[in-house]
Amino acid sequence: MSDSWLDRIPSQERQRIRERLRSPAEYERLREKVKGPEDLEREMERNELLAELKFAMESEPKLAEALRAQVQEDIRLNGLPSVLHSLHLSSALTLALTKGDFAISVEPDAETHVDQLVLVPEGKVREAVPVSQKFSEQYLGQFKKAA
């Protein structure tokens, strides 16, 4: 009754699987995927804070406007490349963001599926541009203190 799925496949295939699973590269790759309890706790806390921020921005327009003004001020002081994560922006997108024609939202990243703050320009260009990690953490910290 202790038949495992390895017992049901051909011996050559079993040997190949065992070798692959024993390789240091495969072990290291699998080790990187594992998250510790501290990592999971930080990730859950960040996700909870982003969810609260998204709800607050949707339910309190004044908060969303204040955050938008803060982002606009940071763009003016520090420049667009330091505030945003993306380096390749079209001229129309850059113009809209520097003029302040954007909305702030919380959306998942296309590749990692992790929630993040993004700027969504108003008008024809509907591309969401992620805010850099540094400024995103700064805005979340300010929201956490205020809440």
Residue 5 belongs to a domain: no
Residue 9 belongs to a domain: no
pLDDT (tens digit, 9 = 90+) per residue, 114-129? 888 988 888 765 678 8
Residue 13 belongs to a domain: no
Residue 104 belongs to a domain: yes
Residue owning tokens 């910290």: 141
State the burial class of residue 50 (Cβ atoms within 10 Å of its Cβ: 0-12, 13-18, 19+).
buried
Are 136 and 116 in contact, with CB atoms under 8 Å apart? yes
Stretch 47-73: mean pLDDT? 92
Residue 108 belongs to a domain: yes
Q: Which pLDDT belongs to residue 113?
A: 80
Determine what percent of the chain falls in helix, strand and coil, rounding each to the nearest 5. Answer: 65, 10, 25
Mean pLDDT, the chain, rounded, equals 83
Work out the pLDDT band at 62, boundaries 50, 70, 90: very high
Residue 42 belongs to a domain: yes
Domain that includes residue 93, residue range: 37-146
pLDDT (tens digit, 9 = 90+) per residue, 6-32? 677 788 887 887 777 777 877 787 777
Residue 8 belongs to a domain: no
Does residue 2 carry a pLDDT above 60? no
Provide the domain count of the chain.
1
Residue 98 belongs to a domain: yes
